[in-house]
Structures are given as structure tokens and as C-alpha cells.
Structure 1
């Protein structure tokens, strides 16, 4: 018979053994892989998940028919007698859009709020006898429906006489920024650009000071410009990113208003110094402002733009301009609903959910928590398939496979998403159906959509093969979808 020391009772010994067992069990649970820098911020991740956001170009141009006002417009022409910002927000909500950005001031210098620093604003218009405030009505309507708001304040101001006097104009601009970011509540994105005509007076913008003030006033806001610091321009106004599109770029190579870097903005930088994802801006009509003679783009065109923006690791900023009455035109509202219904039709069914899953390896073994089944759950960020820790994992062939369990699969879209919260990793990938290669691609990022060459394919086994990555590839979601709107007329892929 074993005698226990006087100070160690049987109860104490059992508790100690259970505690030791619990610790050893916890130690056997595999940890997540290390992140690959640079990483997105919380605000950048939230922005990326929005997929589509709305731009609203509205102002004196709406009434003159110009795209770029002269700055000489009489504020009295601004009179949207039926203005209803709740209708704008309803159009966005029905389209599944959660962030709207309003042009508080465009290049003409006319302000949609009663700024105390100028009389070139709604205060001098006929609308509501000069007592109106479009920014206030917009922000309040968005808040009432749970939609986030953002603002665009044009640096180029063709009306303000201080423009061209570096110190005085920069002070004026900063004062208006302070007005907008202190009087109207929380903003989720603020939009800057460096555009101005080649004939415009020479002017130096103090972007560094402006950005610092923005972050001081609203720390969680995303700042958009050619150079970020949170969201970058994609380099064109056609709504598409490069077939290779990295969220990473070298900020030291960027400058605002520099046309020579448009190609660089479009694809990003593999040197991975900064995380700065791209936003693709495009108008639903030909122009940015409403024009009676124009109509919204066809659904097929908007879907193509979606695949080339959201489907290439970007967010689509779709401009929907209110008309002279102050409403979003019914034709535009209808087209937005069509787009939303089409996207729901395409992506509401994931054929991969009916498949059995297999992978080349998995981190931590069978019960490690990083198996291929993770790509079929509803979390597209923080649950994922991770392969085993082979040496030089980025050069090792890794794959994940879906096998139909009730016959053949019929689809024409493949969706792949990375766990970008731990860094964008995949450099090259391929897709096979029953052993035949159907896609050879490069980067993935938050979301990559492949519309397949030639349309619908039939098969039983679909394999996504990662041929090159930075560290272990981490795939958070995979989908096989049928797009009934995609009817290619030739054998060229529009991926």
C-alpha cells in the first residue's frame, strides 16, 4: 500500500493529475499559423466585406448638365424640390449596399451643407429658402436605416478665390474637413483625389496634414486616395482591377494625382510593404452626374464589372446620381434591384456544399481544426483550411478537392477566398475538373471569382491547386456556382 505524504491528500492528488492532463490536452491542440505581414486593419476588413458601396454625385452640375462645373454657377439654380434622401437610402438597402458616399463638394466648389467658411452653398440656393442641408438629411436618412455614410470633399475648387494660395487654401480646406467630421457624426470613408485640369492654377495640397486631422477626429474612418492610407484607387474609372491584384503595395512609391502609377495601382506590389486594398469606381450611367439623355448600364455590363472588381479582390464603388428633382431615377433603382437579384441568384446556392471534401494535407492532422470542411461554413475570414507545416510550404504543391456525392456537378463560376486576416498569400493557383485544367490564375485575396471559359462545365471532381504562395496558403471559402446570365459568345474567358 502506497502511503501519501501527510501534506498531499488523495483529493489534492486527483485534482493535480486532472489539471496536468488538461494542460497537456490543450498543448496538443494545434495553433493557427503565423500571419504573413502586412495585415489589414479592422476597418479595412470591414470595408472589404461590403463588396459594393454607393457613390452619389449631386450638386449644381445636376442642374447645368456639366460633368465639371466652372465654379461660376449661380447657387440659385440648385433647387431639388422633391429631394428625399430616404429614397436614396432605400435604393441602396434594396441593393444590399451598406455604405453610401456623398459628394459634399465637387470641383465647382458648391457645398451641399451650409459651411460657415463660404456662401457658395445650399445657404444661397432657392432650395428650402436657403435653410436646407443635404449632408444632414443624407446622414440622418442613412443612420435611420442602419447604413453607414461617407463623404467626398474635392481638393480642386474652381470657385474659391483662395485656391492657388497654398497656405490660405489649405487652411480653408482643413476648416471644411473639420466641419464635416465634427458636425455630422461618424463617417466610415472619406474620399480624396488629386484631379484638376492641366490648365488649373498651380496648387500644393497638404495631404499629410489633412489625413492626420481626419484620423484625429475619426480614428476608425477609412481614407481613400491614390496613396491611401487605408484604401487605394484602382487606377481607372472603368470599374476593373488587374487579373493579378494584390492588396499589398509600397506606399512610398505612391503619390496623389500621378497618372504614371495607374498600372501599379491596378495590380499592387508583391514586395508586400503595406496593406492597401483597391477600390474600383464607376458610374451606373455614362456620366458621374445625372443627365436626362443617359440611361443606366445593362445588367450584363454591371455583372461583368462585378466579376472584374469584387471578383478580383476589390470593392466596387458604384455611382448612382440623383436627378434634378432630388430622387434617384426609377430606371436606376430598377437596375440596382436587378443587379442584387442576379447576384443572389448566382451566389445563393453553393454546389460545393453537397460535395465531400479532401485536401493534400491539413494542419494538426485529422482533428486539428484546420480541415477542408472549413471552406464550406459561413465564416469567410477566421475559419479556413490550412495545409500541414511542410518545409518550404510556399513551394509545395497544395490542393483542396470537392467530389460530387449525388452525380455530376454543373457550374460556370468558381469562387475562392483567402483568410486575408492573416495576410494575402496565394501567388498562383489552378483549377481542374476531372483532371482537366480549366483555370490558371494568379492572386486570390479576399475574393476571386472565375467565370469559366466557354460557359457551363460538367464534372464530378473539382480540384483547386495552389502552385505558389507566401507561406502556407489559407483558404477560408470555396464555392461552385451557376450563373444563368453568363452566356459567352466565344471561347475566350472573361474571367
Structure 2
């Protein structure tokens, strides 16, 4: 990416006298990248045949007529995004299955062949118009992987994809972001022509920021949890890397590279539900406000942008559970950042640059990211002091650098005056576009921001302090192997719960000791402050039959005590097969005696929560038996799509059948370099799972 100093004229236009002008440092953002960073928070929408087939990665062989969102309303999506405080929408115009949400002339797998609007509809046209009506930016995701197109895997496909890309980029108005990933067919490889694809974007949408593992506009953050590193540089080394499997190491994606070759800031992608596409089974698994706040502070608050996926349901609407949660989050964020206490302070600073009218301490509190304060040239430390006429209480600190001049700060601390001496309350590393610190409540009359180290003279655009309202922590719901249900929460709260699916109230049953819940069902719980003065969000958990009577069936090489971790009701314990010697590449399997005959409707596989264990299963087969000897054909087999990037519990349904034994076979791993298996929990599905509406 060409380095540019496009904002210098604007930033230095404040009647700057001839004097200590600020020299740009390192790789610099383009005008489009600065504008992109200012968006901070926008919506991702996954919609397609997968919405109707309960798949994350469709195979491209689905009947296009399955796509029929009968009440599709793109204005509802845009209105929801606007009310949530989001600044734009990126939609999956074409996912890996190849299905196009517009009537592409380069494909026969599109809305034209669908049942929706008798083939006369165009989702992209409706959404781009809705975004324009609500003042939102419009962006598109097009996957180069196409599991439907007959030319995929041939030398001519890259031009087909380039033509498809041009079709979208020239038909629906301005595009603020072009989203690519490097996913590729595991058996029919296609060498993607990234220079060709990028040239199409640059020609037809020159202001679009291109997303991929290596940008060039913005980068994947290395996980699908929405968390950037606590150290996060907007610069990245890209030589020798490519999107997808050839991408930089996860740590580089998460933290960037200090003095990286190009300005490629982090975008944090995460779904409001466990999966990316809508599924009725996840209606009661929408992330809580507490979880979304954690994500917000770990993305926008760590020098990244947050793209939050809100999947459209089968009617073509954002589900009420999702929109309600978005509005709840908006209310908390508005309340948290309502009153900038720094506006009441007198600001002083050390080492201020002389003879430059564009550099003023007052600019630190004007709310304008294009104005700034800076130290003198080659002065890489400084202190910003906020003095208040009377004590203020705060628990949030917001800092911003003037990134048009480069990212500079390597380390900083926050101090308060307490009992006549300064006390350090936080010490962190990078700032970048925005850094937000969540702290306990502190009351003081003086706050100091110590700029401890920098790559070049620090250039700070904003310093802000806020007092965010207290949040009552949502309780945690657990159940052990025997089926005993327990709740946990903050020490000063009372936990109330229901077992019939109703909403907990202060008069609901109070949790004081574990409750027998072996047959399973829906549990809802809330934490209340004393006398019910305030309550947390509702925590919801669904349990099937408890594994109280289950046992591991002995098999060669299987350590039964270790394997039992897969059926102990505790996802924190993991069965790992690294030490099992076998003759085949991926033979690992687990046989479980359920202790009695059950009517099985499916099974669940929970991978390890972290990445340390490895061995996440991608390809699977599931068998059932009455006697543990005769197995027959698998009742289910396939792949857990996208599980490597999104390692959450997977559920697989099959035709109901009675059995006493179940066998889970790990056919192949999500990471081809790992020839072992990890299972945090293996469960069965015996109930018709509820879907809230």
C-alpha cells in the first residue's frame, strides 16, 4: 500500500506558524483507512441458503428455491443498525456455496433461481437503498470459494470471479468495505489471483477498504471472538503471506507488528450468536450485554473496529432477540460515554511542541480527532495532567492518537492523586485510533497520563474520562455429571431462577443449594441486588439428559479415566488423544455406554475452549448401537464447518432412533497438522430443543 500523508494539510491548517512541524512516522493510513477507523462499529449480515438449511458452510448443491425469506425487509435491518449506533452494514453477497444474493449473469445459483419474489428479487439492491435511506455505509462480502460454479478449480475461474466482483462493485453505489477471506476447497484447489481481484476493487471502488488476513485495507484479528490484543499495532508485515491458510501467525494478526511494512489495522469479527447464519436453535443463545460489552472494549477499545454479525432469520428479518439485545447494548454504551469529565478539567502538559499553532492542550478535550497535542520533535515521553476544581469519580479512560501521522505510543500509564501522592492505577502499551480502559471507580482531583515510551514524538488527539453505570453481573449456570444444577454470581447479589422457561422475577425461587435436574430442560436465572433494586440480564441454559450413568467403553489404547473427561459434564476438562498410538492417520473414536436405552435425536460435540489443546474435530461420523457391537452405517456424518475459527458447541440432528451405545469418530482434524483429537464434551440430544420467538 502506498504510504500517504493525505491529512497533513488538513491537520496543519490551523494557521500553523513556521516552526516545529510534525514529521509523519512509519507506515501511514490512507484517507479511506482513517475514515474507516472512525466508523468503529458496524453490522455484518449472513444470509443465504444456509439460513434455511441450518448449515454454516453450504455445499453448493442445495436447491436455490430453498431461499425464500417471505418478509424480507432490508429497511428493518438498516433501521436496527442505525438505532444500535452502528455506522454501516456488510452483507454476504456470495458465500462459499456460491449462491448470489443478486441475479448475477455469471452464475446459475442466485436469487433469480430462488422462490423469493418468484426470482425477481435483488437483496443487494434493497439493502444498498436502505443503507442510503438511513445514512449507513454499504459493504459486501464475496467469497472467492465457490462450491457450485462449474469452473471453480480451473484456470478460467479467477476471471469469472473478477467479473462477478465487478458486477457487484458497479451496480449498487459506493462500497465502504470489500470483505474477502481465503477459504479454499480442500479437494479442488483454486489458486486465487489476488492482484486481479484487488485491481477490480481499486478500479471500481477506490475508496473501499479491502479486508483479508493481509489487507491491504484492514486485517482479520486472528479469531472470531472479536478480541484484539491488549497490544495492537495498526501496522503489519505482509511479505510472504497471503489470505487464508497462508496468512500471518495468529499473534501477528491479533497484535500487528511494531514497525510493520504496511498500515493494515485490525477488524474484529464476531457473531451475536454461536454461529454466523441464522438457526432457530440459537434463538436463546444471543450473547448477553455483558458479553457484548467485553467484546466492544476488546475491539473498539483496543485500536480495532468491531463488525458484529446479526444474522437475518428465515422470514428475512432481524430476530427480536437480537434487536432487543442490540438496543440494550446501545443504552449501556450511551450511558457509559455520556459525560466527558475532562471538559471540567484544566489541562497542562510537559514537553509541548513550540511554535506550532496546531498543537494545543485544549485540543485534547474538544472532541475532534483531527486536532491534537504533541511533544517536541524527538521527545518521546510526556505527561498530560488533568486538574479538577472538585473531586470527580471515573472508571473509564479513553485515549486517541492522531493516526494520520502514524501510530507512535508504545507504553503509557494512568495515575491519580490520592492522599497527597500519585498512585498508578493502570499501565498499558499501545493506543492507536482509540484505547479504552475499564477501571474500578476512582475519585480524585488530579489525573495524570504518563506517556512512557513512543516510536516518535507522541501526537495525542483526545483524552477523556467517564463514569460508566454499574452493571449487575449475569449469573453463571452449570450442571455436573450427576445432573445437579448450580448457579454462581457476584457476592452481593441474590440469584433467582425458573425451570419452566418463564422469565425469573424477584419472587422466583432463590438459589441456595444445587438442584436436581438430571432430565434436563431450560433454566433461566437472574442476579438481583438486595430487595430487588436492580437486576442482571437473564441467563439462559438448555440441558439434555445428564451423563450420570454413562461410562466409556474400553478400547485399545484408551485411558478410560482420561476419556471420561469427555462425558463428565464439565467443558473445562478435555480428553486429548495425543498419546494414543494408532496405525491410521485419524482413527480416534470414543464409544459411550449410555447406561440404558434412550431415544436419540442427535448428538453434540464441544471442542476445547482455548487453542492450547488443539485436535479440534472437523470431519466426523456418529454411529449408534443397541449392544455396543453391531453398528451399521453412521446415523450422521459430515463436517463441522468453520469450527477452527469458531470453536463452539456443535449440534447434529438425525432421525430419532433408540439406542444404548453411541460412537463418535473423528474423521479428520480442523488443523491438518494435528493428527489427534480433543473432546471437551460429547452429549446426546433426546429432547425437541425449544426455539424462542
TM-score, length basis structure 2 = 0.64
Aligned 8 A contact 1:232 1:276 in 2: yes
**Correspondence 1:360 to 2:350:** yes
CA separation of 1:159 and 1:463: change in aligned 2, threshold 3 A: same
Match of 2:81 among 92, 95, 99: 92
Residues 176-215 of structure 1 mapped to structure 2, 5 A cutoff: 176-196=164-184, 199-215=186-202
- Higher share in helix: 1
The whole-number CA distance in structure 1 between the counterparts of 2:241 and 2:429 is 23
SS of alignment partner, residue 252 of structure 1? coil
Match of 2:67 among 67, 73, 78: 78
Aligned 8 A contact 2:336 2:469 in 1: yes
Residues 35-50 of structure 1 mapped to structure 2, 5 A cutoff: 35-50=24-39
Other-structure match for 1:393: 379
CA offset at residue 254 of structure 1?
3.0
Structure 2 spans left out of the alignment, 5+ residues = 1-14, 474-489, 492-693
The whole-number CA distance in structure 2 between the counterparts of 1:254 and 1:275 is 15
Other-structure match for 1:289: 277
CA offset at residue 241 of structure 1?
0.5
Other-structure match for 1:250: 237
SS of alignment partner, residue 220 of structure 1? coil
CA offset at residue 253 of structure 1?
4.7
Match of 2:264 among 234, 258, 276: 276
CA separation of 1:267 and 1:112: change in aligned 2, threshold 3 A: same
Other-structure match for 1:473: 458
- Higher share in strand: 2
**Correspondence 1:267 to 2:255:** yes
SS of alignment partner, residue 170 of structure 2? helix
Aligned 8 A contact 2:241 2:248 in 1: no
SS of alignment partner, residue 297 of structure 1? coil
Aligned 8 A contact 1:425 1:473 in 2: yes
Residues 1-400 of structure 1 mapped to structure 2, 5 A cutoff: 30-165=19-154, 167-196=155-184, 199-257=186-244, 258=246, 261-294=249-282, 295-364=285-354, 368-380=357-369, 382-389=370-377, 392-394=378-380, 397-400=381-384
The whole-number CA distance in structure 1 between the counterparts of 2:367 and 2:16 is 28
SS of alignment partner, residue 410 of structure 2? strand
CA separation of 1:486 and 1:31: change in aligned 2, threshold 3 A: farther
CA deviation string 1:29-77 (max 9, x = no partner): 5454111132111100111011101100000000011111111100111
Q: Say which is worse superposed, 368-377 or 481-490, in terms of deviation.
A: 481-490
The whole-number CA distance in structure 2 between the counterparts of 1:66 and 1:436 is 53
Match of 1:411 among 387, 394, 397: 394
Aligned 8 A contact 1:300 1:485 in 2: no
Other-structure match for 2:446: 461
Aligned 8 A contact 2:379 2:457 in 1: yes
SS of alignment partner, residue 336 of structure 2? helix
Tell which has more relative contact order, 1 or 2 (C-alpha 8 A, sep 6+): 1
CA deviation string 1:85-107 (max 9, x = no partner): 00000001111222111101111
Aligned 8 A contact 1:30 1:363 in 2: no
SS of alignment partner, residue 343 of structure 1? helix
SS of alignment partner, residue 166 of structure 2? helix
CA deviation string 1:181-239 (max 9, x = no partner): 11222211111001236x33221100111101110112111111111111111111110
CA deviation string 1:98-125 (max 9, x = no partner): 2111101111111111111121111111
CA separation of 1:106 and 1:355: change in aligned 2, threshold 3 A: same
TM-score, length basis structure 1 = 0.88
Aligned 8 A contact 2:16 2:358 in 1: no
CA separation of 1:30 and 1:348: change in aligned 2, threshold 3 A: farther
CA offset at residue 388 of structure 1?
3.1
The whole-number CA distance in structure 2 between the counterparts of 1:56 and 1:47 is 18
CA offset at residue 345 of structure 1?
0.7
Other-structure match for 2:511: none
CA separation of 1:371 and 1:128: change in aligned 2, threshold 3 A: same
CA offset at residue 28 of structure 1?
5.3
Calculate the aligned-residue CA RMSD, in Å.
1.7
SS of alignment partner, residue 311 of structure 2? coil
The whole-number CA distance in structure 2 between the counterparts of 1:369 and 1:28 is 9
Match of 1:449 among 407, 412, 436: 436
CA separation of 1:27 and 1:206: change in aligned 2, threshold 3 A: closer
Other-structure match for 2:601: none
The whole-number CA distance in structure 2 between the counterparts of 1:172 and 1:368 is 54
The whole-number CA distance in structure 1 between the counterparts of 2:396 and 2:465 is 6
CA offset at residue 486 of structure 1?
5.0
The whole-number CA distance in structure 2 between the counterparts of 1:249 and 1:450 is 24
SS of alignment partner, residue 203 of structure 2? helix
Structure 1 spans left out of the alignment, 5+ residues = 1-25, 491-495
Aligned 8 A contact 2:214 2:247 in 1: no
SS of alignment partner, residue 89 of structure 1? helix
Other-structure match for 2:680: none
CA deviation string 1:302-328 (max 9, x = no partner): 011000000000000100111000001
CA deviation string 1:265-305 (max 9, x = no partner): 11111123211111000001111001112132000100110
Aligned 8 A contact 1:29 1:364 in 2: no
SS of alignment partner, residue 456 of structure 1? strand
The whole-number CA distance in structure 2 between the counterparts of 1:471 and 1:298 is 41
Other-structure match for 2:406: 423
The whole-number CA distance in structure 2 between the counterparts of 1:311 and 1:52 is 11
